[in-house]
Structure formats: structure tokens, C-alpha cells
Structure 1
């Protein structure tokens, strides 16, 4: 075999040229397909990463807006989505678990500690979203909440409580305080 290769170098050269041409043809055919597939994979991965970041940002923004009253509908919605949206960020999920546990009345966690836990959770989110260099601790504490909004919230809560008492058959302390007529009287009592 070696004698044949040595005696006929043109055959070996032709064979190697044909082999190289075959590889070139295969690469020319397969290369663009592979490049297109790679480009599509990169585009899809980039789009998915951008959609995940956008969802995280929406949750972060909602919680920043509602950090004074996380029990609002949008605050509760955002809190309930943390485990799904931040599934890949252990620090955020742990901070949310700590905050969630602080809401258990049997634990008697003081309000200032709950506020610290909210801040820690928001800081963890900011870090994941690469905002940690721009946001300072006091940025999480600074909050505009006008007095009229606090009064409105208190009024809404009082009205809700009153409605619940009425629906449950309980009267409010100030309602229905007039003396009742006795069962034997046909007429109401005279005015005071």
C-alpha cells in the first residue's frame, strides 16, 4: 500500500483534492443553515431575556409605587408574582419569604421591621435589575404620600368596616340608639 502511494502521488493528491472539495461543498451547504440556526437561537434567547427583565421591572416598579400600601390590589398582585418572575434570583425570593413571614400575626413582627424587610426585598430586586449602583438606601425610604390620600384610605377602610358590620347584622355604636317602643304601646315614644 505504501509503495502505491509513493509511486502514484498524483492519485493521492487527486483523492485529497476530491475529499477537500467534498468538505467545502458540505460546509458551503451546511454553514448558512448553521449560522441561521445560531442567529435565531441567539435572537430568541435575547428576546426571552428581555421579556424576563421587563416582567421583573414591572414587578419592581409596582412595588416601588405601592411600598407605602402593599395591600393595595396592584401591590398584592406584584407580591404574589415574585416567586414566578424572580424564580432565578434566590436573594429576592428569600427576602420575599422573610417579608411574607413577617405578615403572620402570630409572629408579632413590629411595623418598622416589616418596613426593613420591604426595603431589603426592593434592594435585592434593584441589584438583580442592575440598579444597585444608582439607588441608595434613602431612595427606598423617600416616599410621597399626601395627607389627603391617607385620609381617603382611612375613610375607605371605615366605610368597608361599617358595610361589613351592617351585612353581618351588627349595628355601629352610633346607629340605632333611639329608645325602642315597648311591645304593649301602639305609639312610638314621645320626642325628648
Structure 2
């Protein structure tokens, strides 16, 4: 119940922090359900890493989280609001375990969203504004770092809890790098497509700042 309570509290906080009536306005009226369904399916078709239990986040079974891309497009509050039903549709409906769904939300959604938002803020603050930097930084780098930092955080947490003997640390780190490259590549590619065809969907894009030159 603790995991569920924490997940619900974060979701409600994110939902309240989102702009008023944002989910009643286009494009989120139809885009949010589409993203939820797509990610719920994507989470369940990904392979697991060697030696890691299936159906658990700490097995790092997902090849595409989507948290970083949603953060770059809509900001962390909307991203966490969308990802909550993804976790319960993609995990609880399949496994029937609300605790596992809650842990997935906290570790697969909240942690990557936090680290992606932190990476984006650092990039926007210290790197000159350029469209290529926006795509590479907010798309690829932020997604890559969100996976690396989230996975490293969980690895350290498991080691501190005395579970290091149960882990293939070398395999974990190798798999983490592979997954991070996949996440970064997909997020960067999709963000570039959005900037070309639907730039108004990307909240971190400012046409005057990035195109004035």
C-alpha cells in the first residue's frame, strides 16, 4: 500500500500542477490516450536482460520508456500525468499486481522524468540555443541520461540493501548502456519529427529563440 499511496500522491500532484483543462484541449484530448496505449504496448514487447527476473523494473526489461520524450514535449507535470495510466494499463492489467504497477510508475516513470527534466534544464541554461542542440540535447542526451542515471540509482540502492550478490553488475551496466542508446535514439528521432511537423507540441521549443538567427 505504501508504493501505491506514493505513486497516487505523485500522480495527483503532477495532475494538479498541470495547466488547467490542458487534457480537454487539443492535441492532448486525443494524443494522451494514443500515447498511453502505445507505451503500454511497447513496455510489454521489450526483451529482458540476462539473469534478471521478468516483470520487474530492476530487470530493466524496457527498451523505450517514453518519459524523457514526454518531458521534452510537454514538461514533467503533464508527462507524469500521462505515464501514470501507462504504468497501470501496461503492468497492472497484464500482471494484476498493483504493487508492481506502482513500483513501475515510480522507477520507470518518475525517476527518468526527473533526470530528463534536470538534464534539459542544464542544457538550456549552459548550452547556446540552436535547433540542432535542441534535438540532440533535449531529445537524445536527456533521454540517454535519464536511463543511465535511473538505472545507476537503482543499482546503488540495491547494493545498499545488500542485494549485490544477486546481481550481475557487469551485465546490468552493459545492458543499461544498450538500453540508454536505444532510448536516446528513439527520443531524439521522434522529437526531430515533432519539431518538423508539430513544433507547437514541443514546450521546450521557442521559435524566436531558436530560429531568430
| Structures share fold, TM-score greater than 0.5 | no
Larger radius of gyration: 1
Q: Which structure shows the higher helix fraction?
A: 2
